[in-house]
Amino acid sequence: MDLDPETDLSFTRTLAVPRSLVWECWTSPVHIPHFFVPRPHKVTACDIDLNVGGRFNTTFEVDGNLMDNKGVFLELIPDEKLVFTDTYSEGWKPAPDPFMTAILLLSDAPGGGTTYTAIARHRSPETRKTHEEMGFYGGWGTVVDQLETYARGLLK
């Protein structure tokens, strides 16, 4: 995948859980609240229609404030690729002020783990810079750590 350093942020990690479980966690509203935002913030609601054009809606509680996030899935390749955006909501309704498109790439890592690549694509260098300054690496890194810990607990 071609990355544009002007508008894209990304990182890759190796997780000690199988990619089928990583996929399950990312695509089920039962699992999303356990990892999707850095603690102590939390997901208070999640509604998923796992189809291209289907909704990926979440509500976060951040410092006592509720934040609604509406989005759609753009591409779904089970256990390999998950693409979603806040550029549209369900029914392809354009968002008034979209922020990014997220791309998750999953592949097998040695020992039964998962190579996990997260990409955030932005519409402008300014939006990318804002996301980086908001703490993309720390925040998304915390989310993937929480995901791995949660998923490992599901293996028991």
For the domain that residue 76 is a member of, what is the CATH number?
3.30.530.20
Any domain includes 28: yes
Any domain includes 87: yes
Any domain includes 1: no
Any domain includes 41: yes
Rounded distance between C-alpha atoms, residue 138 and residue 41, angstroms = 14
Domain count, the chain: 1
Could you state, in chain order, the average pLDDT of each consecutive group of 10 residues for the chain (156 residues)?
94 97 98 96 97 96 94 98 95 92 97 96 96 94 97 92
pLDDT at 156 (0 to 100): 78
Domain span at residue 109 reads 8-155
Other C-beta atoms within 10 Å of 118: how many?
20
Any domain includes 96: yes
pLDDT at 1 (0 to 100): 76
pLDDT at 5 (0 to 100): 95
CB 9 within 8 A of CB 111: no
Any domain includes 101: yes
H helices present in 10-135, as ranges: 19-27, 125-134
pTM recorded for the entire structure: 0.94
pLDDT at 79 (0 to 100): 98
Any domain includes 111: yes
